[in-house]
């Protein structure tokens, strides 16, 4: 009996900050391959998650949110998002439906308009994914879909809740149908292109975002400096949390080290669950003024320093 011919495609997932792109990619892949928080600009780099549906392998490129950049890091993140779209066979534009309904002239709407204008400028086709639809009535969703399709000729429109999973099966089927005959890009058992070292650093940064308020998380970078596989199957991970100013260090550490301990405990648990092994995590906080303008940071996370 002849084996089914393999098919594949690369699909970029773009959208405004906090539209739910990473949650959607994790849901489609069926595993955590990219971090998720309630804060905007959580995703800083492109992560390729691998979805398999029958004989089709879809490489989903999770990208940073597209917004009006102010800093070098912002420009690099937005550049990485557009680069992901340029290299893809298809593009999904993820929109926070609840946010656009509540704030039709807010930042999310402005960023979505910016994305639409960018797609027009590139002459790209794209598919609309209205996310977070579970809190809206059907007539509101249809009205929003009509408005966005009037602004741009989307190939198709999907209404999903990436968090709850509704509408995901139809989207998976549509994505699988986009695949064309050809070899798979990744082995069958690989869920993403991100290394364990990088994912561990991202998970720690995720926990920082979840526990620290205001703008402080955006002044923080996490790097994995040590990784030791032990004979008992566990792994020892040494990470450095870099902050931009002296006054930020005690905030990360907290009174009697309480905040840092909480970050470490949560990150250790999450990393262990993802790696399916026991983790010994050691965190150090260092002040490194101007880290966001150092080329090495950009090279580490794979975004363009000159963007």
Strands 7-15 and 180-181: antiparallel
Q: What is d(CA 114, CA 8) in angstroms, rounded to the nearest whole number?
A: 30
pLDDT confidence bin for 307, thresholds 50/70/90 = confident
* pLDDT higher than threshold 70 for residue 142: yes
The pLDDT tens digits of the residues spanning 189-226 come to 999 999 999 999 999 999 998 888 765 667 899 999 99
Domains of the chain: 7-181 (3.40.50.300), 196-301 (3.30.300.20)
Confidence class for position 45, pLDDT limits 50, 70, 90: confident
What is the model's pLDDT at position 185? 95
What is the widest separation between alpha-carbon atoms in the chain? 67
Lookup: tokens for 37: 């928080």
Q: What is the mean pLDDT of residues 149-174?
A: 97
Are 239 and 282 in contact by the 8 Å Cβ rule? The answer is yes
Strands (E), 72-118: 90-96
Residues above pLDDT 90, as percent of the chain: 83
Residue 150 confidence (pLDDT) above 90: yes
Let me know: does 251 contact 216? Beta carbons within 8 Å.
yes
Under the banding of pLDDT at 50, 70 and 90, the label for residue 37 is confident
Distances (CA, A) of 89 to 9, 19, 78, 122, 144: 6, 21, 19, 14, 26
Asked whether residue 2 carries a pLDDT value surpassing 60, the answer given is no
**Which is nearest to 275 in space by CA: 210, 197, 221?**
197
Residues 61-78: b if buried by 16+ CB within 10 A, e if exposed: bbbbbbbeeeeebbbbbb
Tell me the per-residue pLDDT of 108-132, one tens digit each, with 9 for 90 and over: 999 999 999 999 999 999 999 999 9
Tell me what pLDDT residue 146 has.
97
At 306 the pLDDT is 83
Mean pLDDT, the chain, whole residue set: 93
Pairing of strands 279-287, 235-243: parallel
CA distance 73 to 64: 11
pTM surpassing 0.85? Answer: yes
Q: How many CB atoms lie within 10 A of CB 274?
A: 17
3-state DSSP helix/strand/coil percent for the chain, to nearest 5? 45, 20, 35
The rounded radius of gyration (Å) of the Cα atoms in the chain is 20
Q: Computed from CA positions of residues 216, 220, 226, 231, in that sequence, does the dihedral angle turn out positive or negative? A: positive
Per-residue pLDDT reduced to its tens digit, 231-245: 999 999 999 999 999
- Note the pLDDT of residue 215: 58
| For range 42-69, the mean pLDDT | 93
**Kind of pairing between the strands at 157-159 and 127-131:** parallel
């Amino acid at each position: 009996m002849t084996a089914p011919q393999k098919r594949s495609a690369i699909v970029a997932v773009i959208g405004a900050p906090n539209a739910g792109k990473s949650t959607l990619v994790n849901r489609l892949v069926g595993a955590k391959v990219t971090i998720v928080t309630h804060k905007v600009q959580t995703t800083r780099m492109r992560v390729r998650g691998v979805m398999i549906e029958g004989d089709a392998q879809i490489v989903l490129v999770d990208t940073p949110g597209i917004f009006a950049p102010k800093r070098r890091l912002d420009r690099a993140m937005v550049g990485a998002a557009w680069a992901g779209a340029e290299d893809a066979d298809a593009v999904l534009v993820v929109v926070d439906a609840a946010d656009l309904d509540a704030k039709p002239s807010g930042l999310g709407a402005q960023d979505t308009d910016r994305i639409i204008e960018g797609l027009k400028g590139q002459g790209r086709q794209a598919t609309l994914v209205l996310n977070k639809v579970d809190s809206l009535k059907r007539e509101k969703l249809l009205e929003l879909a009509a408005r966005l399709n009037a602004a741009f000729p989307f190939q198709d429109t999907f209404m999903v809740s990436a968090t709850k999973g509704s509408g995901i099966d139809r989207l998976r089927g549509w994505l699988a149908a986009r695949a064309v005959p050809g070899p798979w890009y990744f082995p069958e058992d690989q869920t993403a292109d991100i290394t364990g070292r990088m994912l561990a650093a991202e998970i720690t940064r995720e926990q920082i975002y979840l526990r620290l308020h205001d703008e402080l998380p955006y002044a923080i970078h996490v790097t994995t400096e040590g990784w030791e596989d032990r004979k008992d199957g566990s792994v020892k991970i040494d990470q450095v949390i870099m902050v931009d100013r002296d006054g930020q260090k005690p905030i990360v550490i907290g009174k009697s080290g309480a905040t840092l301990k909480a970050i470490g405990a949560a990150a250790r648990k999450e990393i262990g669950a993802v790696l399916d092994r026991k983790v010994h995590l050691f965190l150090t906080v260092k002040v490194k003024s101007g880290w966001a303008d150092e080329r090495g940071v950009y090279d580490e996370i794979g975004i363009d320093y000159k963007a």
